Structure 1
Amino acid sequence: MPLFETAMFDTAMFSTVLVANRGEIAIRVARTLRELGIRSVAVRAEDDPSPHGDHFDEVVSLGSGPLRETYLSTTKIIEAARESGAQAIHPGYGFLSENAGFAQACADAGIVFIGPPASAIETMGDKISARHAVESRGVATVPGIAEPGLDDAALIAGAEQVGFPVLIKPAAGGGGKGMYRVDEAGALAASLTAARREATSSFGDDTLFIERFVTNPRHIEVQVLADTHGNVIHLGERECSLQRRHQKVIEEAPSPLLTEAQRASIGAAAVETARSVGYVGAGTVEFIVAADRPDEPFFMEMNTRLQVEHPVTEMVTGIDLVEQQLRIAAGERLSIAQDDVTLTGHAIEARIYAEDPAAGFLPTGGEILALDWPTGTGIRVDAGVEPGSSIGSSYDPMIAKVIAHGSSRAEALDRLRAALADVRVLGVTTNRTFLRDLLAEPAVQAGELDTGFIDREGERIAALEVPSEAFAIAASKPTGHAHRAFGAWASDGWRIGRARGRVVRLRDGDGIATVRVLREAAPRDFGFVGGRAGVPDTQIELEVVRADGTSERFSALPFVARVESASGTWVGLPSGDWLVEAPPRSRRGRGPAEPTLASPMPGTVVATHAADGDTVAEGQAVVSVEAMKMEHVLRAPVAGTVHLHAAVGEQVTRGQELATVTPEEASA
């Protein structure tokens, strides 16, 4: 069923629309195109594992190669639009969605860009010019030093005037890339160097500026719609304070912080921001708000595109934002006045990332062996993967969004946590268990949020051990091929092993668990345990002994999903998706120092901080690897002589040896 009530598209301008994106956002845009009766065209890189093309009427190949030759190629995408007969291009988010040159190239080619004019993108794409534009309309900005062409010396001097802590920000781009909080003057020079490198790598522009860091900050953004006839409205705000390294993790609408009067005030500021650049289309104005001063929002930036978190606004307003984008781009007047906008209930979104929270949130990868998404009242899932999809380092690590709507914030929280318990992604480590536990935190339940919460508490929340049930299920050997699927074990009999008393030793990367078979049988009829398929309590008894000597016995095994892989056994439970029987994995802060520096994630070597043969001190930076908007610095585990095994620009896999350090005593 459609998510929204939509009328058939009543404008003859668009019969075909091309979506210049991939993954879940491409699939989401295609859904609205289909509901409106508009022919849809996808573009696809030949090496892209995303199944988005299956949801379109036509797929045009972009060939293969790096992103600049596929999804970032203006020439190829415009040619694809011409080839397919598309009159308009929807850019989704990311890629070329905020590229003023692309928007202008569409206009020059006679193709409608479903977004704002190039001039608005250009002004808002440069955060320095954006500050000046909104200040001219009376919108407050965070105190700072923001002028074009500032060198490091000027920024250091300006930071002293602004006062620490400060936030370094690139003038171009977004998504947290190149942003650094600096608490003292001594750390500023090194942070500026790192920020310029990230800004150049991500945006091709190393221009920086500095703002005062707002204490106890909350990130609140406002959705706006503006047509070509001068009408501008807002659709309420979203709270996006739960983020890590400036990357949003949980978003909700409306904010639990604001009163109705404050909501109207920040909405009016967002409307003035849109008017300051002659904005057209759907856009988001982002504000930073001190938790103790919600009456004083400061403008941060404007995202001139559809946001990842747009579903929560759709859930509480009942308005399809993609449909509105299409109608505005086709020249229609807004059919919605400000007084028509009503926020009903509460909606919360959780982003499912391919990352390992227990290993410092490092990106992961692999093949998705089994997959299942939740359903139910108030639940929506926007996903961009399917069983068999491969997750690598070439694209963003977000694989899906789970959204819950309820009549109250408490109901939405409960529904989202229950939905996350039903998510199954086996074959790739994800953050879904972390998300459930994050939402259960008392501060989150109470709505007492700030942008530093996950940075402060994330490691504690992520510090979970594999449950004993997972070891017991991993030691079990169901017959048939039920181990490759969800649901009950095979009906032709079940056995755990060849003989009673069998001992299975398993590990989860950190410790060894021993599973002993105390009693077993091979029945033909199977019962259910706790509403889930499992082994009847009269047929088996297992004991799991943990590495610390603690033990637990099981006479019934809850069973949700179990998949064998080359790296071990994946077990899916409501508490999480667990990989056991795997080789030990390096975990931050655990285990003795090793002279080998292995890549903690699939990615690209972006810097070497020492030359081959150099003498390095323990803890000295040696190599930096970047993947999925994250840069990780590998440091010498011991003092000695460094030997590099990878060069800048080289694509590397997780676990690949990048350098070794011969200890000083060995060299001597």
Structure 2
Amino acid sequence: MTKSMSRFGSVLVANRGEIACRVIRTLQALGIRSVAVFSDADRDALHVRMADAAVRLGAAPARESYLNVAAVMAAARAERVDAVHPGYGFLSESPELARACAEAGIVFVGPPVAAIELMGDKMRAKAHVAGHGVAVIPGAGEPGMSDAELAVAADAVGYPLIVKPSAGGGGKGMQLVDDAAGLPDALATARRIARAAFGDDALLVERFLSRPRHIEVQVLADAHGGVVHLGERECSLQRRHQKVVEESPSPLVGADEGLRQRMGLAACDVARSAGYTGVGTVEFLVSADRPEEFFFMEMNTRLQVEHPVTELVCTIAGRPLDLVEQQLRVAAGEPLGFAQSDVALSGHAIEARVYAEDPDTGFLPSTGTALSLREPSGDGIRVDSALYAGMPVTADYDPMLSKISAWGADRAQALGRLDRALADTLLLGLHSNIAFLRALLADPAVGAGELDTGLIGRMLDDAHETGHEFSALGEEALPAAAALLWHGSPWNSAQAGPRPGPHPDLWHRRDGWRLGRHRPPEIMLETSGMRQLVPVPEEAPHGFDAARDGDAVWLGRGGASARFRRVHRHELLAETLAQLDRPKGAAAPEVRSPMPGTIVTVTVASGDSVTAGQVVATVEAMKMEHRLLATVDGVVTIGAAEGDPVRQGQVIATIAPHEGEGN
């Protein structure tokens, strides 16, 4: 079913967050009615406020809302929309949604079902493109292969290798394996994540290239045989196979127009061979040691997170590029209306993804409320965001909060503008990776364009060895936090009475007043897991943005932020009493969750004997898994079950010493 785009009276956006907002903005610019969908966690979200209408899908868990095809289609029918735009993630590469739209007479803003199914199966996709003359990375995998069969295939492929779910994308479930000993755990983890994320636990193994660079090509195809490429993007700066910083054009391709055209033609061949229509991305891996060789990795049959950098550098016949508008035109059956020769690239653009995570605690996901928010602006700056002051950030969805992009006449100017934009960004109330992004951009290898997918890992190893903290605010932060928490705080004002002038009962004041030389009051502060007794200055040092959070205060400066919590005497006393019965130097017997999330596996049962370092459970939040380890030897008591939601710091298990021990 096709319609002229002018007849798209209304379009449902089957997504959330910044991508839903971005699609709605284009719909508004085109005069098309927008319909948002939301879960209970997103009832007050920005995309809901922006849309002309909004429909509740279900409870917060994605499978009960954004991944529920029946609920999405019910909303589409109820609002009588002409088309459904899936954004990226969730159902964007779901043949079930595309098929359901076709059956309901509603246009799916994406490629045909056959193309989604072909490219959604990495095994079939690799065999398909290889048959059309496109080079692929050596690997193996067939649907239904057991772990034993994959182990045999892995020996033939050779180590190191990557274990990948056959379905889905975005790096979810990918495991790097250095040798055969690490393969069983990698297969188990990849299968578990693949089942949860894609409903399909088929896996493949693929050779891991030395110092690989991740370069992708944006393609656009219509239903009339027109296929063009819109330049390449470099996405080599990754952590745990998730992209962090992307740019266009690639520093590796640079001015090598011949290489650009060869990659672009290969990407167009892939799209054409699959019968592809709409916006898509063909991803290649390139060895930094042999940049003239590139290998097909996969095709993403949707709009990409990093599409803004392509829009910033690309024009079509002199007009700015809007990829969402192009998606809608193709979905409406219109021809592209331009040729490859009409596509021009100008300048350089770089995008940084802002995540709700704490770089100083191993990038654990962070939740909270955006107590204070300031997003950057200026020449060449673009912000794609769904944030607003007072917005709650939960553990239900991906931790990406926003994207900050910068355009420059050349790469150096784009890098400088992006760094200044990050420095001007303020987000208090939850941890973010903004300071880490600035440190990454300042790395000499990044400045030189010498990128590969392992660069961030090496940078983090160096930071760990040196004890570097990415969110450090300087030595003035502690006295600033102490002053802000003490002066005017509820417990201080209630205990101390009015601060100026004499008090009728000086002996009962608790503000540090005493006979003789003045001694300022002191409070115990905790930040980044460390505690320190801090004298309270009369005034807080200047230069910080601040936001109060109960018994804590958030400080921010230059893109960095940190939380400082006051530790009260009753808390210190309780901890001291708890340690009296514990052997000197022994670890705490409780196993706590380091982040809010959901228990996905429990590997032991109450009454089992465990040893220190043994995995007792796995918690998942924001698409990240974290293994919980036994702190001591003993007999375990489990306090949570698979599927249970947990809070940060919640006790998951308690370990008692074996009989006769600890006495």
Normalising by the residue count of structure 2, what TM-score does the alignment of the two structures yield? 0.87
How many Å separate the matches in 2 of 1:233 and 1:174?
23
Equivalent pair of 2:348/2:409 in contact (CA under 8 Å): yes
**TM-aligned CA deviation for residue 193 of structure 1:** 1.7
How many Å separate the matches in 1 of 2:114 and 2:239?
31
Counterpart pick for 1:423 among 397, 401, 425: 425
Are positions 1:346 and 2:348 aligned together?
yes
1:406 aligned partner: 408
- Write the mapping of 1:176-575 to structure 2, written as runs, cut at 5 A: 176-258=171-253, 259-317=256-314, 318-461=320-463, 463-464=469-470, 465-477=472-484, 501-505=519-523, 506-513=525-532, 515-516=534-535, 557-559=542-544, 561-574=545-558
How many Å separate the matches in 2 of 1:249 and 1:90?
25
1:374 counterpart SS class: coil
- Write the mapping of 1:108-119 to structure 2, written as runs, cut at 5 A: 108-119=103-114
Counterpart pick for 2:75 among 68, 74, 80: 80
**TM-aligned CA deviation for residue 166 of structure 1:** 1.0
Counterpart pick for 1:95 among 90, 96, 108: 90
1:546 aligned partner: none
1:548 aligned partner: none
Equivalent pair of 1:501/1:517 in contact (CA under 8 Å): no
User: Which amino acid in 2 is paired with 1:323?
Assistant: E
User: Which amino acid in 1 is paired with 2:268?
Assistant: V
User: Which amino acid in 1 is paired with 2:469?
Assistant: A
Equivalent pair of 1:166/1:182 in contact (CA under 8 Å): yes
Equivalent pair of 2:422/2:559 in contact (CA under 8 Å): no
User: Which amino acid in 2 is paired with 1:470?
Assistant: A
Equivalent pair of 1:16/1:38 in contact (CA under 8 Å): yes
Deviations 1:170-219 (A, max 9, x none): 11112222211111112212221222122112211111111111110111
Change (3 A) 1:478 1:570: closer
How many Å separate the matches in 2 of 1:353 and 1:513?
28
How many Å separate the matches in 2 of 1:83 and 1:31?
22
User: Which amino acid in 1 is paired with 2:438?
Assistant: R
1:305 counterpart SS class: coil
How many Å separate the matches in 2 of 1:252 and 1:567?
41
User: Which amino acid in 2 is paired with 1:502?
Assistant: P
2:133 aligned partner: 138
How many Å separate the matches in 2 of 1:507 and 1:65?
32
**TM-aligned CA deviation for residue 136 of structure 1:** 1.7
2:577 aligned partner: none
**TM-aligned CA deviation for residue 466 of structure 1:** 4.1
User: Which amino acid in 2 is paired with 1:558?
Assistant: G
- Write the mapping of 1:37-186 to structure 2, written as runs, cut at 5 A: 37-48=31-42, 50-64=45-59, 66-186=61-181
2:345 counterpart SS class: coil
1:12 counterpart SS class: helix
**TM-aligned CA deviation for residue 592 of structure 1:** 7.0
Change (3 A) 1:355 1:65: closer
Change (3 A) 1:303 1:291: same
How many Å separate the matches in 2 of 1:410 and 1:619?
46
User: Which amino acid in 2 is paired with 1:283?
Assistant: G
Which segments of 5 or more consecutive residues in structure 1 lack a partner in the other structure?
1-8, 484-492, 521-539, 543-555, 585-590
Are positions 1:657 and 2:645 aligned together?
no
How many Å separate the matches in 1 of 2:196 and 2:485?
50
Equivalent pair of 2:35/2:55 in contact (CA under 8 Å): yes
Change (3 A) 1:481 1:242: farther
Report percent identity of matched pairs. 53
**TM-aligned CA deviation for residue 249 of structure 1:** 0.7
Aligned length: 607
User: Which amino acid in 1 is paired with 2:98?
Assistant: A
Deviations 1:31-81 (A, max 9, x none): 111111111111122332532111111112224353223212222222222
How many Å separate the matches in 2 of 1:85 and 1:69?
22
2:220 counterpart SS class: strand
How many Å separate the matches in 2 of 1:137 and 1:119?
17
User: Which amino acid in 2 is paired with 1:418?
Assistant: R
User: Which amino acid in 2 is paired with 1:262?
Assistant: L
User: Which amino acid in 1 is paired with 2:563?
Assistant: L
How many Å separate the matches in 1 of 2:566 and 2:159?
46
**TM-aligned CA deviation for residue 158 of structure 1:** 1.3
Deviates more, 1:500-509 or 1:263-272: 500-509
1:243 counterpart SS class: strand
Normalising by the residue count of structure 1, what TM-score does the alignment of the two structures yield? 0.87
Equivalent pair of 2:141/2:153 in contact (CA under 8 Å): no
Equivalent pair of 2:482/2:535 in contact (CA under 8 Å): no
Equivalent pair of 2:512/2:521 in contact (CA under 8 Å): no
Change (3 A) 1:11 1:207: closer
How many Å separate the matches in 2 of 1:135 and 1:125?
16
Change (3 A) 1:479 1:238: same
Change (3 A) 1:217 1:567: farther
**TM-aligned CA deviation for residue 666 of structure 1:** 3.7
Change (3 A) 1:577 1:110: same
Equivalent pair of 2:426/2:559 in contact (CA under 8 Å): no
How many Å separate the matches in 1 of 2:661 and 2:323?
64
How many Å separate the matches in 1 of 2:454 and 2:65?
36
**TM-aligned CA deviation for residue 459 of structure 1:** 4.9
Q: Counting helix residues as a fraction of each chain, which structure ranks higher?
A: 2
2:34 counterpart SS class: strand
1:644 aligned partner: 638
How many Å separate the matches in 1 of 2:374 and 2:28?
24
How many Å separate the matches in 1 of 2:594 and 2:281?
34
2:17 aligned partner: 23
User: Which amino acid in 2 is paired with 1:232?
Assistant: V
**TM-aligned CA deviation for residue 594 of structure 1:** 2.4
Change (3 A) 1:463 1:593: farther
Equivalent pair of 1:262/1:294 in contact (CA under 8 Å): no
Equivalent pair of 1:643/1:660 in contact (CA under 8 Å): yes
User: Which amino acid in 2 is paired with 1:298?
Assistant: F
How many Å separate the matches in 2 of 1:482 and 1:616?
45
**TM-aligned CA deviation for residue 335 of structure 1:** 2.3
Deviations 1:224-272 (A, max 9, x none): 0000101011111111111111111111111101122111111111111
Change (3 A) 1:289 1:117: same
Equivalent pair of 1:20/1:91 in contact (CA under 8 Å): yes
How many Å separate the matches in 1 of 2:175 and 2:487?
54
How many Å separate the matches in 1 of 2:623 and 2:4?
41
**TM-aligned CA deviation for residue 640 of structure 1:** 1.3
How many Å separate the matches in 2 of 1:104 and 1:174?
20
2:317 aligned partner: none
How many Å separate the matches in 1 of 2:348 and 2:269?
26
